[in-house]
Amino acid sequence: MITVDEALAKITALFAPLPIEYVPLRRAAGRILATDVAATRNQPPFAASSMDGYAVMENDVAPGAEFAVIGESAAGLGFDGTVGAGQAVRIFTGAPVPKGADRVIIQEDVSRVENVITLGQIFDNSRYIRPAGDDFSIGETMQAPRLLTPADVALLASMNIAEIPVRRRPIVALVATGDELVMPGEVPGPDQIIASNNFGLAALLEATGAETRMLPIARDNAASLALALKMCKGADLIVTIGGVSVGDHDIVQDVARDLGLETEFYKVAMRPGKPLMAGLLRDTPMIGLPGNPVSSMVCGHIFLRPALNVMLGLGGHPLPRELARLASDLGPNGGREHYMRARLGIEYSQLTVHPHDRQDSALLSVLSKANALLVRAANDPARSIGDMVEVIRY
Ligand code: AMP
Ligand code: MG
């Protein structure tokens, strides 16, 4: 049995960043920027007014000063002439500041009679001009790799970049195995249950940026499983669920080996998730997850997300951990790392973690209430309320 760190290192070593593809800006949110992109223009491209008011010469500004209004500069249509002493140009937010002017007086500070404005005795002292390139200048870059947020999409649009270089989405083939499984919506036989993990894992993988192909459920016989594995051709990663422990019906490794699997490791010192397997099936990385619903989802977080991150060019780092205040006592841990289902919240301004009192790896209802994993090292001694412990938020 190897440790979680060792298993993660062996898994991430099976992957490399995928090729780059270009997507239209409208499809870029949530994708991973693959190469740095540079602004092709300055923003704003000219000195622009940040208020509605009058563009004047700073020198002329004094309480009670009068100006002759000689024209207008609107957003999208500037004023062609030059502002001279004692002159003003009516200006609006986003409009180019005309030549000669170096100050905008806000309209609230003046009174206007026909084409003459008079500045009040008290007025706002800001200049209200955004210099050219105030937001960004030509050549300034957005750096890769980076998960593109809605704000990034707005910035890329402003930079006038319409086609965005991103990593291709990893394609993951998901194979659930078991004679007892039927798909949600079907009518199960008396000894059957509904397949759940494959749906949870598909959601988890897609939330991490993958495209998933959910294959038909493989039955616990060699022919059915071999057929399912052959249907995984073309995937960047094959994930099987169940059939990988030591029961008579756990045939995944044997069948995959017959098809050319070279196992990298089998069994990890963790709870839940001990019967985890990884290897290469004819050059395609294959990860065999344990069948227990919670085990497969926890392993999905701990191992599959970093694996996808390698393919997305983000590196295969372990999921980040935070320290939280423990809300209940915990007994000593055994010889395997424990990833306890827990609820994280802020209490008295402090990040606090409540481990769930039921930790059976079959309980999806508990997993659904949890929002974090409380990580306990192998042989961690007993812990008391108030101790700081490591958590993985998800
Ligand atoms: P196995 O590793 O195949 O022995 O599966 C362990 C446990 O997980 C058994 O109780 C299975 O019924 C259950 N299981 C395996 N695969 C799934 C699945 N896709 N959805 C729900 N339960 C599953
Ligand atoms: Mg099974």
In tens, the pLDDT along 33-54 reads 999 999 999 999 999 999 999 9
Nearest CA to ligand 1 atom 6: 291
Q: 243 CB under 6 A from ligand 1?
A: yes
Ligand that comes closest to the CA of residue 242: 1
Residue nearest to atom 12 of ligand 1 (CA): 180
Confidence at residue 249, expressed as pLDDT on a 0 to 100 scale: 83
Q: How far is the CA of 199 from the centre of ligand 2 (A)?
A: 16
Q: Which of 272, 290, 285, 277 is nearest to 360 (CA)?
A: 272
Q: Is the CB of 295 under 6 A from ligand 1?
A: no
Q: What is the pLDDT of residue 104?
A: 98
- Could you tell me if the CB of 247 is within 6 A of ligand 1? yes
Cα of 65 vs centre of ligand 2, distance in Å, is: 87
Confidence of residue 250 (pLDDT cuts 50, 70, 90): confident
Ligand at minimal distance from the CA of 289 is 1
Can you give the pLDDT at residue 248?
Answer: 85
Extended beta strands in 20-78, E state: 20-24, 32-33, 37-38, 48-49, 53-56, 66-73
Rounded Cα distance, 222 and 251, in Å: 7
- Which atom of ligand 1 is nearest to 198's Cα? 19
User: From the CA of 202, which ligand is nearest?
Assistant: 1
Q: Is a pLDDT exceeding 90 seen at residue 123?
A: yes
The class level of CATH for 48-130 reads: mainly beta
The pLDDT score that the predictor gives to residue 290 is 96
> How many CB atoms sit inside 10 A of residue 323's CB?
11
The verdict on the CB of residue 181 being under 6 Å from ligand 1 is yes
| Percent of the chain whose predicted confidence (pLDDT) is above 70 | 100
* Choice between 249 and 233, residue whose per-residue pLDDT is larger: 233
Name the band, by pLDDT with cuts 50, 70 and 90, for residue 246.
confident
Instruction: Name the pLDDT band for 332 (thresholds 50, 70, 90).
Output: very high
Q: What is the pLDDT of residues 252-269, one digit of tens each?
A: 999 999 999 999 999 999
Separation between Cα atoms, residue 23 and residue 50, nearest integer Å: 33
| Span 133-185, pLDDT tens digits | 999 999 999 999 999 999 999 999 999 999 999 999 999 999 999 999 999 99
Indicate if the pLDDT at residue 389 is higher than 90. Answer: yes
Give the pLDDT score at 4: 98
Nearest-ligand number for the alpha carbon of 179: 2
**Distance, CA 14 to ligand 1 centroid (Å)?**
26
How far is the C-alpha of 230 from the C-alpha of 235, rounded, in Å? Answer: 11
Q: In this predicted structure, what is the pLDDT of residue 89?
A: 98
Mean pLDDT of the chain: 97
Ligand 1, atom 10, lies closest to the CA of 292
**Tens digit of pLDDT for each residue in 94-122?**
999 999 999 999 999 999 999 999 999 99
Going by DSSP bridges, is the β-strand pair 237-241/284-289 parallel, antiparallel, or unpaired?
parallel
- What's residue 287's pLDDT? 98
Which architecture characterizes domain 4-17+169-311 according to CATH? 3-Layer(aba) Sandwich (3.40)
Is 242's C-beta closer than 6 angstroms to any atom of ligand 1? yes
Rounded to the nearest whole angstrom, what is the distance from the C-alpha of residue 208 to the centroid of ligand 2? Answer: 26
What's the whole-number mean pLDDT along residues 215-231?
97
- For the chain, how big is the Rg over CA atoms in Å? 31
Class of domain 322-393: mainly beta
Domain ranges of the chain: 4-17+169-311, 20-40+140-167, 48-130, 322-393
Overall CATH class of domain 20-40+140-167: alpha beta
pLDDT band at residue 75 under the 50/70/90 scheme: very high
> In whole angstroms, what separates CA 55 from the centre of its chain?
44
pLDDT-wise least confident of 121-130, 241-250, 256-265: 241-250
pTM: 0.94
Ligand 1 pocket test, candidate residues 197, 246, 295, 364, most atoms within 8 A of CB: 197
User: Which one-letter DSSP state was computed for residue 269?
Assistant: S
